[in-house]
Structure 1
Amino acid sequence: MEVPPFPRPESPKAALALQRALAKRVVLSGSLEGKRLLAALDASHKRGKPLVAVALLYHLEKGPLFVGQARVPEEALFPYVPGLLSFREAPAYLEALKTLPEAPEVLLVDGQGIAHPRGLGIASHLGVHLDLPSVGVAKSLLFGRPEGPLPQEAGSAVRLLAPDGRPLGYAYRSRTGVKPLYVSPGHRVGLEEALAFVRRLPTRFRLPEPLRLAHIEAGRALAALD
């Protein structure tokens, strides 16, 4: 897969300016109906070790096809700054995506889409950079609040709202009784369409299966560095 170079800001201040500019390019419309080939992205890192990123190529009818992987030395990572995580992790994801034998139709990212203080979580950042539809599925809430209580039943969802009332995505119960996930569109997909896509994904446990497998692969790759 061909990947354009990723600009590395010289400072957190420069990263904030770039983040705000890129957020204006996010497109919050589009359907993922008919999309079958996705790349599930997850990363793992431990102090003193390289950051390991995994891009798992997954076909919704055939299952996992290929696992791409990349490592970025800790000293080469952008500093950890809350809200600027994409500048730290995106270069590794892009290197992992380069190893895929074909380009995915959709990016499914462990992280936020527009449910971010400046509207550009890592799923949005990668989607804009690659001009690919992208969806963020986060295990914890970063920004916004659920519109109301989330029922315990599998498949339940309530809107996630910004402080000014703008919809950002959904709190989503993937399995009965498990903790919610936070689904938000990244780029080139609408809010309801992003949720509909995640609901279509095979889900045996809390995480949709493509992300669960990518998470396992990232953990294995990091453990292999010990």
Structure 2
Amino acid sequence: MIEVRELSASYGAVHALRDVSFTAPTGEVTAVLGANGAGKTTLLRTITGLVRARAGSATYDGRELTRTAPELMPRLGIAHVPEGRGVITELTVEENLRLGGLGRGRGKAGAEQLDRIYALFPAVADRRSALAHTLSGGERQMLVLGRALMAEPTALLLDEPSLGLAPRIVAQLFELVQTLVAEEGLTVLLVEQNARSALSIAHRGVVLSLGRVVVDDRADVLAGDDQLRHAYLGF
């Protein structure tokens, strides 16, 4: 599991995270929710070492992450999918996918793993020889998620995967996340502004406001709390 204890981070004089503590249990989806500027993206970036923690800790199965180089995260079984659907546009879809398998240190990604990704994402399979810059927004999101799964992670950190996508594509992506958790026991930390959709697939929810945890509870409890939803989640 991912365990965060009194984690703090800042950008210069701006305190982005303040004593954040919560646990993301193994084999569950934990949604991290809140308004713009709440600290959600900073939280993922601090856990994976892209932002230096000022204080506190983040561990995965007991291994301290805040002092681990970001490039070593795949070898620990952690895949971080940042916001923005970043792909290497000059490469083909399949070349982008093969890059995802290199982080585990296994050399060339095998055909078996590629076949698994293509089975999970038929739309990506249909475009395997296309240059990545020709993909739609939904296809790019599927590609970056598939690239992360090429490393066969046991923990998946997703930052705003639904941003800018059509509701039908969002539903497909979230259904896939549910399937991966149910069938493979993935630990998922899901940062989302689409709180309604995130809570529909999450087991637990952590609500951030101005860098602090204001609520940490079961997803169904958060979804059913009208006052909380109106105050922090926007629905």
Shorter-chain TM-score bucket reads 0.3 to 0.5
Higher relative contact order structure (alpha carbons within 8 Å, sequence separation ≥ 6): 2
Kindly indicate which of the two structures has a greater share of residues assigned to helix.
2
State TM-score, norm by structure 2. 0.32
